Amino acid sequence: MTLTTGAPATGSRPLVLHVLYSFDVGGLENGVVNLINHMPPQRFRHAVVALTRCAPAFCERVRRGDVEFISLNKPPGHGVRLFPAFLRLCRRLRPSIVHTRNLAALEFAVPAALAGVRARVHGEHGWDTADPGGTRRKYQLLRRAYSPFVSRYVALSGQIESYLVDRVGIAPERVERICNGVDTARFRPAAVREPLAGSTFDDTALVIVGTVGRLQAVKDQVNLVRAFALARGQGRAGARLRLLIAGDGPQRADVEAEIRAAGIGDVTWLAGERSDVPELMRALDVFALPSQAEGISNTILEAMASGLPVVATDVGGNAELVAEGETGALVPARDPDAMARELLRYTEDAALRHAHGVAGRKRVEQNFSIDGMVMRYTRLYEDLLK
């Protein structure tokens, strides 16, 4: 059974049907929002299908009024039970392109092909906790089994591109690398750190470290709390540190427990899920990303566009974004000591924070603009329909 909201996209323009596991707060989902909002409306129509649920509040981030949002309310288990409903949906909407994202949605390339959809695009954005490095043979074989139903692959990082070619066995000419882009008008540097609604960290002598992301094991905010606690113990410089963690999710209780165990509740703010991420970035001095696995991180790009130095784990595509020693620092995953050292280094050196923040903003403007991302997706869609 499907629940539909939003106005259907009518007209003769080709329809792109975006299929993903859920349409709610997250980096992958935010990339879909950016793509729809910035792609010229005269080129393509769009509809979004969530195998589970399209969250109404998140759907409001799409600024176009002609986008239909469809929730399939998938129960636990294999998605094949939804194939008949998806077939009927394709026959009603008659999309020219079905664009699935990540392994959870890949199998829906099969009913799309059976429905006669001309082009089936599959995007690989990264891995989750069940397969953080893409090493599990089971998932490689699953991707290979579905490959005959995919017209073209999109890899969001060089690492993922290599994974698809070398481990899954996809022919290189079927894989296109398109990195995420960031809206450099919304995410911009602050002349001086700006106050944030709800925050008590307003003393200009403080150095505020922050992160944004869903609280789940793969994002490893627990390890950031450990690193922050270690840095806090390093004399007068460490005493100036404050920690802001934005986001919510299943790991919240674990994060709270680690904060209590470290005795840093008075200098840490769990800000919950936020809709004002651009403003939040301008309230930070340093951005940290402690993930165990990543594709191409939207939040790193947003932090760099906001003029922040970035301390991130050296996983996934993070090294393709953060220029070590120029725009930030890369540290091993699950190594709180290494992250603590880098946080302390930025705490002690305001000039370094500024120089790396300026360099990060310039790097985003030159290499990761949202206009460049949209242009490449538009060209890909149009080439597939020729």
Strand ranges (E), the chain = 3-5, 15-20, 45-50, 68-71, 97-101, 119-124, 152-155, 175-177, 207-212, 241-246, 268-272, 286-289, 310-313, 328-331
Q: Give yes or no: residues 313 and 222 share one domain.
A: yes
Q: Give yes or no: residues 265 and 116 share one domain.
A: no
CB 83 within 8 A of CB 91: no
- Distance, in Å, from the CA atom of 316 to the CA atom of 319, rounded to the nearest integer, reads 7
Q: Give yes or no: residues 214 and 361 share one domain.
A: yes
Q: Give yes or no: residues 163 and 261 share one domain.
A: no
Q: Give yes or no: residues 167 and 215 share one domain.
A: no
Number of domains in the chain: 2
Q: Give yes or no: residues 356 and 378 share one domain.
A: no
List Cβ neighbours of 315 (8 Å cut-off, separation of 6 or more): 132, 291, 292, 293, 294, 333
Q: Are strands 286-289 and 310-313 parallel, antiparallel or unpaired?
A: parallel
pLDDT for 2 equals 62
Q: Are strands 328-331 and 310-313 parallel, antiparallel or unpaired?
A: parallel
Whole-prediction pTM value? 0.85
Within a domain: 197:
no
Per-residue pLDDT tens digits of the chain, which is 386 residues long: 566 777 676 678 999 999 999 999 888 999 999 999 999 999 999 999 999 999 999 999 999 999 999 999 998 888 899 999 999 999 999 999 999 999 999 999 999 999 999 999 999 998 776 787 788 999 999 999 999 999 999 999 999 999 999 999 999 999 999 998 999 999 999 999 999 999 999 899 999 999 999 999 999 999 999 999 999 999 888 999 999 999 999 999 999 999 999 999 999 999 999 989 999 999 999 999 999 988 889 999 999 999 999 999 999 899 999 999 999 999 999 999 999 999 999 999 999 999 999 999 999 999 999 999 999 999 999 999 98
pLDDT for 103 equals 94
pLDDT for 149 equals 98
3-state DSSP call for residue 344? helix
CATH number of the domain residue 217 falls in: 3.40.50.2000
CB 44 within 8 A of CB 14: yes
Q: Give yes or no: residues 161 and 224 share one domain.
A: no
Q: Give yes or no: residues 46 and 65 share one domain.
A: yes
Q: Give yes or no: residues 227 and 253 share one domain.
A: yes
β-bridge mates for residue 175, sequence order? 153
Query: Residue 146 half-sphere exposure, CB side, CA atoms within 13 Å?
Result: 26
Q: Are strands 241-246 and 68-71 parallel, antiparallel or unpaired?
A: unpaired
Q: Residue 376's domain spans which residues?
A: 3-181+369-385
DSSP annotation of 369 reads B
Q: What phi and psi values does residue 152 have, to the nearest 5 degrees? A: -150, 145
Q: Give yes or no: residues 53 and 118 share one domain.
A: yes
β-bridge mates for residue 101, sequence order? 123
Q: Give yes or no: residues 56 and 91 share one domain.
A: yes
Return the axis-axis angle of helices 221-232 and 252-262, rounded to nearest 10°: 10
Within a domain: 195:
no
Within a domain: 187:
no
Q: Is the dihedral of CA 25, 31, 36, 40 positive or negative?
A: positive
Q: Are strands 207-212 and 310-313 parallel, antiparallel or unpaired?
A: unpaired
Q: Give yes or no: residues 223 and 359 share one domain.
A: yes
